[in-house]
């Protein structure tokens, strides 16, 4: 299939895929992400399909599968965040007498909440779920180096947030 044929297929079925995605999307703001994912996946696997047939049922199925994957990933994120919160709370109870440790946990919790959902998911997958960079990058359809750079930037943002909070607290103590 040539690029021109792909473009024609995309143009011919775009409205149909958007309509199916609007019904299947777990959240309406994900509709265009689903549409994008379906067309990317379709293009990647185009040699496996008979394009002489009507591809709308195939595209509709792909939208539903992509929507299920989005639902599953958001469910896993909710579970992971709940587990993380329980771990933080358990650590707080265990170290109740150590106020310095609790302050660090509070700062880290605050800084993690300031991250975008996508950044928080990457941190979770890499450091809490111990997924390999290669596996995450492959699933996201990006190069390993791009993911490493993103993780580096996210860690830098966390470092800055943590040091800013520390400096701000020190300044408050000096003024008070």
Q: What is the pLDDT of residue 78?
A: 66
Within its chain, how far is the Cα of 157 from the centroid? 17
**Which are the contacts of 139, defined by CB distance < 8 A and separation ≥ 6?**
none
pLDDT in tens, the chain (176 residues): 677 777 788 888 889 988 898 888 867 777 888 888 888 888 888 778 777 778 889 889 988 888 888 777 766 666 766 777 777 777 766 665 555 666 777 788 888 888 999 998 898 888 777 888 889 999 999 998 899 899 889 888 888 888 765 554 444 444 44
Pair 39, 17: CB distance under 8 Å: yes
Q: What is the pLDDT of residue 100?
A: 67
Rounded to 10 deg, the angle between the 144-175 and 99-114 helix axes is: 130
Residue for token pair 């150590």: 98
Q: What is the pLDDT of residue 138?
A: 93
Look at the pTM and tell me if it is higher than 0.75: no
User: How wide is the angle at C-alpha 85 spanned by C-alphas 87 and 81, nearest 5°?
Assistant: 115
Kindly list the structural domains of the chain, giving each domain's residue range(s) and its CATH number in brackets, ordered by start. Answer: 3-69 (1.10.1740.10), 98-175 (1.10.10.10)
Q: What is the pLDDT of residue 136?
A: 92
What stretches of the chain show up as alpha helix (H) in DSSP?
A: 3-24, 31-44, 56-94, 99-114, 117-123, 133-140, 144-175
CA distance 75 to 17: 24
Q: What is the pLDDT of residue 175?
A: 43
């Amino acid at each position: 299939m040539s690029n021109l044929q792909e473009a024609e297929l995309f143009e011919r079925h775009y409205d149909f895929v958007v309509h199916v995605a609007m019904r299947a999307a777990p959240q309406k703001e994900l509709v265009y992400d689903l549409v994008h994912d379906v067309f990317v996946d379709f293009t990647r696997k185009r040699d496996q399909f008979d394009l002489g047939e009507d591809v709308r049922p195939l595209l509709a199925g792909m939208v539903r599968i992509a929507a299920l994957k989005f639902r599953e990933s958001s469910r896993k994120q909710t579970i992971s965040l709940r587990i993380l919160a329980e771990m933080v709370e358990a650590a707080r109870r265990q170290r109740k007498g150590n106020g310095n440790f609790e302050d660090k946990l509070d700062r880290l919790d605050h800084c993690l909440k300031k991250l975008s959902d996508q950044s928080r998911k990457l941190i979770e997958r890499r450091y809490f779920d111990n997924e390999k960079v290669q596996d995450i990058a492959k699933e996201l359809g990006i190069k390993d180096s791009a993911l490493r750079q993103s993780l580096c930037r996210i860690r830098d943002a966390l470092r800055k947030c943590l040091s800013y909070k520390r400096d701000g607290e020190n300044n408050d103590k000096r003024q008070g």
